[in-house]
């Protein structure tokens, strides 16, 4: 048994991951027309490297990806994995007992190929199936009308099928590749011969240029010797100048040290003057503080004097007002005495009238009492 399992996801009518396991006996897949039986064989042919869209019954390679339905949206890639049994080492280059081949295609046009989950090229995948009878052009997949196509094919096409069955297609591919390399090598040789002929035409000019180059090298060596002599002379002059500069440098250093000492003395004198100025500033600040305190006291005294003057003026006004009120009160006191006498007369008159009313009231009470006694006697008589 060579074919063990087939995993399909997003390929044509298989949007979900579908795993088909093949047993040791004959496995048959049956179903009505349009159920997707041919898509399984297309998936096997596609995973083995089929590049012909026509052979996959489509118009473009993107058609192998599930395009969606009314109830399901389309998917972004198609992936098919073919698991093969290698216990009998039908793949001589593979030591594993099981070989899985995977092909993945995206809507962007990118393709990926894997052998045992290791990324490979399409060429590596094609060479894996050579001489196994399972290639994309081999006899392992025969669809409807394939027999008639084989019988009606040309002798060259039938020969390829027989070579695949006989296990020599690998050598034929190697031969074709070697012939292509030989053709490229012959083309390279022609170009090399053309280049040699072109270089031969340039030999004489190059010989003249070589003679000029040799003269140039001799003159260059002479120029280098002259330049070295000039450099040595310049070097001696530079050394003498350096010694003179060094002496001038030491003298300048001595002058610098003297100037630095004088500057330090000036700095010290400046510090003393700065200290005295700070003391004078502190004394001036103290004087200013005392002056400000005296000014504050003067302002307080002036403010108190102003308050006292205002109080005196106010008191004077109060005295004048009190004297005026006193005079007015004295003028009014005579009228009040007269009014008091009139009020006393009226009080006396009122007391007199009250006495008269009290006498009239007593008489009325006596009359009422008499009448009450008369009424009581009349009542007794009644």
**pLDDT given at position 110:** 92
Chain-wide mean pLDDT for the chain? Answer: 79
**What pLDDT shows up at residue 170?**
62
Q: 10 Å Cβ neighbour count for 308?
A: 10
Q: What is the pLDDT of residues 127-147, one digit of tens each?
A: 887 756 565 555 556 655 555
- Token digits of residue 361: 């009231």
Q: Are 165 and 135 in contact (CB under 8 A)?
A: no
Kindly state whether residues 7 and 102 are assigned to the same domain.
Answer: yes
Total domains in the fold of the chain: 2
Q: What token pair was written down for 70?
A: 């009314």
Q: Poorest-confidence range of 24-38, 128-142, 262-276, 281-295?
A: 128-142
Residues 42 and 131 in one domain: yes
- Across 8-17, 28-37, 133-142, 320-329, least confident range: 133-142
Q: Which of 225-234, 253-262, 359-368 has the lowest mean pLDDT?
A: 359-368
* Extended beta strands in the chain, E state: 3-9, 18-21, 77-85, 98-106, 111-115, 118-120
- CATH number of the domain within which 85 lies: 3.40.50.300
Tens-digit pLDDT profile for residues 241-268? 888 888 889 888 888 888 888 888 888 8
Compute the average pLDDT of residues 272-289: 84
pLDDT of residue 102: 95
| In a shared domain, residues 16 and 121 | yes
50 Ramachandran zone, left/alpha/beta (phi>0; psi -120 to 50): beta
Q: Is 376 part of a structural domain of the chain?
A: no
| SS3 per-residue string spanning 212-242 | HHHHHHHHHHHHHHHHHHHHHHHHHHHHHHH
| Residues 52 and 60: beta-carbon distance below 8 Å | no
Query: Residue 306: inside a domain, yes or no?
Result: no
pLDDT at 177: 80
Instruction: Look at residues 119, 136, 153 and tell me which one is the last residue of a structural domain.
Output: 136
Q: Report CA Rg, the chain.
A: 69
- Residue 177: give the domain boundaries: 168-201
More confident residue, 174 or 236: 236
Is 45 inside a domain boundary? yes
Distance CA 70, CA 78 (A): 19
CB 6 within 8 A of CB 22: yes
Q: What is the mean pLDDT of residues 166-195?
A: 80
DSSP structural state of residue 33? T
Name the residue with higher pLDDT: 344 or 170: 344
Q: What is the C-alpha separation between 59 and 380, in angstroms, rounded?
A: 152
- Count, in order, helices (H) and strands (E) of the chain: 6, 6
Assess if residue 248 is contained within a domain: no
Inside any domain, residue 277: no
In this structure, are residues 62 and 107 in contact, taking their beta carbons and an 8 Å threshold? yes
DSSP 3-state of 172 = helix
**In the prediction, which pLDDT does 321 show?**
80
Of 52-66, 73-87, 152-166, 351-365, where does mean pLDDT reach its minimum?
A: 152-166
Q: Are 121 and 194 part of one and the same domain?
A: no
CA 283 to chain centre: 65
Residue with tokens 């630095």: 260
| CB contact at 8 A, 76 and 89 | no
Are 179 and 114 within one domain? Answer: no
Distance, in Å, from the CA atom of 54 to the CA atom of 377, rounded to the nearest integer, reads: 159
**Distance (Å, whole) CA 14 – CA 10:** 5
CB 106 within 8 A of CB 76: yes
pLDDT band at 122 (very low <50, low <70, confident <90, very high): confident
Strand 3-9's sheet: what is its strand order? 18-21, 3-9, 77-85, 98-106, 111-115, 118-120
Do 10 and 70 fall into the same domain? yes
Q: Does 54 share its domain with 127?
A: yes
Give the integer Cα–Cα distance in Å for 374 and 344.
45
pLDDT of residue 368: 59
pLDDT top residue among 4 and 373: 4
Residues 75 and 179 in one domain: no
The pLDDT assigned to 333 comes to 58
Q: What is the mean pLDDT of residues 186-194?
A: 88
Report the range out of 8-22, 174-188, 298-312, 326-340 with the highest average pLDDT.
Answer: 8-22
pLDDT mean over 94-114:
91
Measured CA angle at 178 (ends 176, 179), to 5 deg: 65
Question: How confident is the model at residue 148, as a pLDDT?
Answer: 59
Please write the tens of the pLDDT for every residue from 202-213: 777 888 888 889
Instruction: Please report the pLDDT score of residue 126 as a whole number.
Output: 81
Distance CA 216, CA 207 (A): 14
Domain shared by 172 and 131, yes or no = no
Nearest by Cα to 104 from 122, 86, 126: 122
Mark whether 195 and 103 lie in a shared domain: no
Transcribe 238-288 into DSSP letters.
HHHHHHHHHHHHHHHHHHHHHHHHHHHHHHHHHHHHHHHHHHHHHHHHHHH
Specify if 35 maps to a domain.
yes
The pLDDT confidence band at residue 103, using thresholds 50, 70 and 90, is very high
- 49 and 173 together in one domain: no
Asked if residue 263 is part of any domain, the answer here is: no
| Residue 210 domain-assigned (yes or no) | no
Q: What is the pTM of this model?
A: 0.43
**pLDDT above 70 covers what percent of the chain?**
77
Say yes or no: 14 and 132 in one domain.
yes
pLDDT of the residue at 42:
87
């Amino acid at each position: 048994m060579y074919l063990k399992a087939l995993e399909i996801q997003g390929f044509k009518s298989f949007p979900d991951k579908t795993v088909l396991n093949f047993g040791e006996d004959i496995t048959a897949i049956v179903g009505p027309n349009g159920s997707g039986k041919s898509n399984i064989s297309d998936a096997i042919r596609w995973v083995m490297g089929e590049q012909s869209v026509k052979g996959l019954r489509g118009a473009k390679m993107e058609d192998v990806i599930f395009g969606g339905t009314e109830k399901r949206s389309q998917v972004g890639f198609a992936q098919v994995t073919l698991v093969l049994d290698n216990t009998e080492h039908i793949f001589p280059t593979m030591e594993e007992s099981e070989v899985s081949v995977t092909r993945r295609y995206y809507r962007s046009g990118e393709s990926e190929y894997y052998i045992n989950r290791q990324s490979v090229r399409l060429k590596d995948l094609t060479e894996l199936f050579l001489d196994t009878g399972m290639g994309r052009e081999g006899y392992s997949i025969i669809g409807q009308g394939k027999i008639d196509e084989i019988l009606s094919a040309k002798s060259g096409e039938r020969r390829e099928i027989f070579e695949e069955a006989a296990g020599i297609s690998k050598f034929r591919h190697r031969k074709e590749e070697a012939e292509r390399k030989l053709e490229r090598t012959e083309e390279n040789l022609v170009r090399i011969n053309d280049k040699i002929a072109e270089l031969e035409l340039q030999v004489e000019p190059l010989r003249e240029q070589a003679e000029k180059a040799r003269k140039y090298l001799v003159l260059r060596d002479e120029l280098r010797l002259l330049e070295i002599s000039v450099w040595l002379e310049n070097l001696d002059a530079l050394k003498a100048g350096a010694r003179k500069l060094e002496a001038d440098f030491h003298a300048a250093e001595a002058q610098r040290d003297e100037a630095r000492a004088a500057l330090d003395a000036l700095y010290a004198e400046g510090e003393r003057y700065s200290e005295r100025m700070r003391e004078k500033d502190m004394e001036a600040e103290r004087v200013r503080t005392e002056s400000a305190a005296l000014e504050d006291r003067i302002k307080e005294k002036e403010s108190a004097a102003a308050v006292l003057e205002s109080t005196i003026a106010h008191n004077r006004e109060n005295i004048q007002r009190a004297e005026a009120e006193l005079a007015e009160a004295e003028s009014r006191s005579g009228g009040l005495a007269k009014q008091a006498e009139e009020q006393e007369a009226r009080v006396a008159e009122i007391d007199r009238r009250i006495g008269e009313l009290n006498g009239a009231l007593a008489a009325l009470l006596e009359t009422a009492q008499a009448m009450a006694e008369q009424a009581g006697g009349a009542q007794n008589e009644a």
